[in-house]
């Protein structure tokens, strides 16, 4: 009711097992807990918590302005309401190797199933923008080693994201990925790949699970689940899809309200009270207090 039925440990084991079975896992982004509930009800494989979406929800650009406390709080709120495993975007780890160690321990303590750390400088930018600045591979290796060393649950997944393809080229990005795997990364997230041959080259060279980012309006074509499976990828994330859908619907609806002076014509576009209460598991609270759910819709 208030929390998921499965423990964090159970969700981590399920994620590990699911990744190992060769099937592509589809993990849409949830920028809020209720979106996580929708993702679960629709039968997706997991939940992705995007740093870009959390920044945007705070009306901030994705340039490393969010704090560890802001991200961990939202991550915990989202992870607790679903039995699906949740992977969270740790950006650059919120600092150097020691900061990364704390970041990983916080995420593990708060019920997440894994996180990814990227090899940009702290004032990072969206992976699909130009002129990104990378840290030296040795710095990222230190961060990955710190993350791996401090985790208590070996099933908590440490994923390494590399943004090197757009900065240093495909070969350099693969070399970085290999170094990150040697440092202990459980999976690799090669950001902003474009051509099928780039996906296939990464799969041929990297032996751990691979994550594909199907963000809209970026440098990557929006490949289908079937295509990504053929590339040999293990996870597909859709980080800002739910936020973009929600914002567009809100903007269109409120414009109509402003123009027409009434919300009557847009009611059919809204989620009903009945559906909202179903997502909230409202009726379950009646088990504890008969005064909480003693009405009919």
Same domain for 265 and 199: no
Same domain for 260 and 150: no
Count of domains for the chain? 2
Same domain for 120 and 24: yes
Q: Is 281 a catalytic residue?
A: no
The verdict on residue 164 lying in a domain is yes
The verdict on residue 1 lying in a domain is no
The verdict on residue 3 lying in a domain is no
Q: Average pLDDT, whole number, for the chain?
A: 96
**What are the structure tokens assigned to 39, written together?**
């993702």
Tell me the pTM: 0.95
Beta sheet of 25-28, edge-to-edge order: 25-28, 235-238, 211-213
Same domain for 261 and 153: no
Same domain for 129 and 19: yes
Name the active-site residue from 16, 213, 223, 234: 213
Q: What's the CATH code of the domain at 160? A: 3.20.20.60
Name the active-site residue from 161, 199, 223, 233: 161
Name the active-site residue from 89, 163, 186, 198: 89
Residue 210's pLDDT is what? 98
Name the active-site residue from 48, 199, 233, 238: 48
Same domain for 197 and 281: no
Name the active-site residue from 40, 91, 119, 163: 91
Comparing CA positions, the residue from 52, 51, 117, 40 lying closest to residue 80 is 40
Q: Is 126 a catalytic residue?
A: yes
Residue 133's pLDDT is what? 94
Q: Is 91 a catalytic residue?
A: yes
Cβ(253)–Cβ(230) below 8 Å:
no
pLDDT band, very low/low/confident/very high, at 291 (cuts 50, 70, 90): confident
pLDDT tens string 239-256: 999 999 999 999 999 999
Q: Is the pLDDT of residue 262 over 80?
A: yes
**What are the structure tokens assigned to 164, written together?**
């090197």
For residue 190, how many other CB atoms are within 10 A of its CB? 28
The verdict on residue 254 lying in a domain is yes
The verdict on residue 292 lying in a domain is no
Q: Is 48 a catalytic residue?
A: yes
Name the residue range of residue 283's domain: 247-287
Q: Which residues on neighbouring strands pair with residue 252, listed in sequence order?
A: none
Same domain for 77 and 41: yes
Same domain for 256 and 176: no
Same domain for 181 and 35: yes
Angle at 166 between CA 179 and CA 103, to 5 degrees: 50
Q: Is 116 a catalytic residue?
A: yes
Name the active-site residue from 31, 76, 116, 125: 116
Residue 297's pLDDT is what? 82
Residue 272's pLDDT is what? 97
Residues 6+ apart with CB under 8 A from 245: none
Same domain for 191 and 101: yes
């Amino acid at each position: 009711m208030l929390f998921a039925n499965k423990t964090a440990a159970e969700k981590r084991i399920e994620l590990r097992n699911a990744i190992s079975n060769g099937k592509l896992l589809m993990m849409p982004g949830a920028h809020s807990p209720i979106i996580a509930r929708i993702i679960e009800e629709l039968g997706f494989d997991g939940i992705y918590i995007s740093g870009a979406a959390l920044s945007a929800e705070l009306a901030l650009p994705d340039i490393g302005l969010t704090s560890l406390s802001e991200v961990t709080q939202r991550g915990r709120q989202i992870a607790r309401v679903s039995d699906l495993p949740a992977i969270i975007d740790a950006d650059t780890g919120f600092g150097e190797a020691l900061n990364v160690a704390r970041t990983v321990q916080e995420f593990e303590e708060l019920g997440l199933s894994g996180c990814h750390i990227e090899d940009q400088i702290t004032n990072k930018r969206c992976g699909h923008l130009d002129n990104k600045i990378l840290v030296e591979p040795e710095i990222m290796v230190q961060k990955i080693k710190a993350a791996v060393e401090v985790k208590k649950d070996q099933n908590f997944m440490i994923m390494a994201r590399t943004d090197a393809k757009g900065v240093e080229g495909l070969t350099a990005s693969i070399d970085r990925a290999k170094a990150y795997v040697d440092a202990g990364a459980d999976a690799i997230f090669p950001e902003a790949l474009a051509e099928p041959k780039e996906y296939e080259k990464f799969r041929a060279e990297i032996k751990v699970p691979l994550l594909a980012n199907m963000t809209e309006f970026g440098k990557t074509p929006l490949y289908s689940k079937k295509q990504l499976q053929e590339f040999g990828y293990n996870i597909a994330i859709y980080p800002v899809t739910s936020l973009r859908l929600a914002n567009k619907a809100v903007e269109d609806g409120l414009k109509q309200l402003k123009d027409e002076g009434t919300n009557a014509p847009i009611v059919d576009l809204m989620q009903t009270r009945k559906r909202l209460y179903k997502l909230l598991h409202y009726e379950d609270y009646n088990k504890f207090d008969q005064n909480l759910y003693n009405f009919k819709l």
